[in-house]
Every structure is written in C-alpha cells, then in structure tokens.
C-alpha cells in the first residue's frame, strides 16, 4: 500500500503571515496534523528550517508529543538542527537542502559532493534509532551516492515532473528519469519515497514509477482544504493513492 505523509508546513506559513514572532496564532499546524491523522494519513511531515520561516520549535515538540503516526522531520544538515533531531527522536529524518531566497525547498541534495558530511550525520541519526532519507533529484550519480551514505531511504524530488506535467515531451523525459532512479535505488537496497509539486491532477501519471513506498504532499492538500476542509482533502488524496500498484 502506498503511504501518505502530509506536510503541514504551509499551515504554519499561513499562521506566520499574521502572527510572526508571537507564541500564538492560527491556524495551528499541530491541530492540522491531528485532523490529517484522523482522516487516515500514515504520517506527518514538518520542516524546521534554520530561518524558522514557517514551522517553529514549539510546533515540532508538540507534534512529537501528540501525533500517533510517523513523524518525518525534514531538516538541513546543520549542527543546530541535527542536535534538535537527536533529542526529538522522530521516526525518520529527511535531509534536504536549504536556500534563504526560496519560498519552499527547491532542488535536491548534492549527495555526491557532500558524501562525507552526510554520512557522518546519517551515522549519528542511525545510532539514535532514527531512519534517514535523502531528498535528491532523480539522477543516477545522486542515487548511487545516497546508497553509499548508508541511508535507508531516498525521497525523489518530483518538482521537475510537476513543472513539465502539461508538456507531453517534458513529462515523458521527467517520468523516465524518475522510473530509472527508482529502479536503481531499489536495486541498491534503498526504499523510495517521492514528493514536491504532487497534486490531485498529476498523481496518477506518477504511478508509472515503481517501488514507491510513501508520498509526501503538502501544498496541494492544504490548498484543496480551503474549499472542502482538511479531512476531506486528505481523504480524496488517499482515495487517489489506493490505485497505485507499485
């Protein structure tokens, strides 16, 4: 069964637009996470950025206390955030790149260039009982390097696929890249997640990609919830995902 991790970052983005710097505000991303769990999602994803742009430290600790499913803690490979992760003990950490000017995470990690540093962090997290995923572009060099770090998962960056979805030629190119990367990762013993830009329209086309374990989706679900409510938005996404055959 293909699992759904709901990324609640954009719930926090809405809150921070009005209540930045305050210890209260709405909407509450933790309350949103609990709605998503009740609607049937398999995990909650949240990214504690170094600049604290959306999710705040208090959100992460409250999530750790209150959610009943799996906490996927997205983070940069920075000493401060690594120390938080080691104390927080989420079920899984997804290491992602961060750039100050971006609105949300764009692009994948350059694992090949940063192999030593990422392997060191992976070992620290593994020793603490935390699984590790690396957010990468569907590039054979990055897939191979990810396996060399000893990480259990990769998360394939589906942003280029989403951007080219309405361009048939571009869509096929990006799908081929994702298919090849997933097959390569599976052969190397890596489990394969995917995320970024996935929505209710492009999801079924992605099902040509084999070996997917979990999809992490946030913006599309939060956007849909404006019109139908968060529980129904999650339910609709889960219904679409039930057709995946692997």
Specify whether the backbone of 129 is left (phi greater than 0), alpha (psi in -120 to 50) or beta. Answer: left
Could you confirm whether 47 is annotated as catalytic?
yes
Label the pairing between strands 153-157 and 43-47: unpaired
Q: With contact defined as beta carbons under 8 Å apart, do 205 and 158 qualify? A: no
Compute the distance between CA of residue 146 and CA of residue 222 in angstroms, rounded to an integer.
30
Set 74, 98, 131, 155: catalytic member: 74
3-state DSSP call for residue 116?
helix
Set 10, 42, 196, 214: catalytic member: 196
3-state DSSP call for residue 52?
coil
Set 10, 47, 54, 157: catalytic member: 47
Could you confirm whether 74 is annotated as catalytic?
yes
Compute the distance between CA of residue 40 and CA of residue 201 in angstroms, rounded to an integer.
20
Could you confirm whether 196 is annotated as catalytic?
yes
Identify the H or E element spanning 74: strand 70-75
Active site residues: 47, 74, 196
């Amino acid at each position: 069964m293909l699992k759904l991790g709901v990324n609640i970052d954009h719930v926090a983005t809405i809150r921070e637009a009005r209540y930045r710097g305050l210890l209260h505000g709405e909407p509450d991303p933790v309350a949103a996470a609990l709605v998503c769990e009740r609607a049937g999602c398999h995990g909650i994803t949240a990214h504690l950025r170094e600049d604290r742009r959306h999710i705040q430290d208090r959100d992460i600790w409250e999530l750790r206390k209150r959610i009943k499913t799996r906490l996927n803690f997205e983070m940069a490979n920075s000493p401060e955030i690594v120390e938080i992760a080691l104390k927080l003990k989420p079920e899984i950490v997804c290491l992602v790149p961060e750039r100050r000017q971006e609105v949300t995470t764009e692009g994948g990690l350059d694992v090949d260039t940063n192999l030593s540093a990422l392997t060191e962090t992976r070992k620290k997290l593994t020793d603490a009982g935390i699984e590790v995923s690396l957010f990468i572009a569907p590039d054979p060099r990055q897939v191979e390097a990810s396996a060399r770090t000893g990480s259990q998962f990769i998360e394939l960056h589906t942003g280029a696929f989403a951007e080219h979805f309405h361009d048939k030629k571009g869509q096929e190119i990006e799908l081929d890249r994702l298919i090849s990367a997933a097959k390569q990762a599976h052969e190397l013993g890596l489990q394969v997640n995917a995320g970024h830009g996935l929505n209710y329209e492009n999801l079924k086309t992605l099902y040509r990609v084999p070996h997917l374990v979990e999809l992490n989706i946030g913006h599309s679900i939060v956007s849909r919830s404006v019109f139908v409510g968060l529980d129904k938005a999650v339910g609709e996404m889960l219904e679409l995902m039930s057709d995946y055959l692997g």
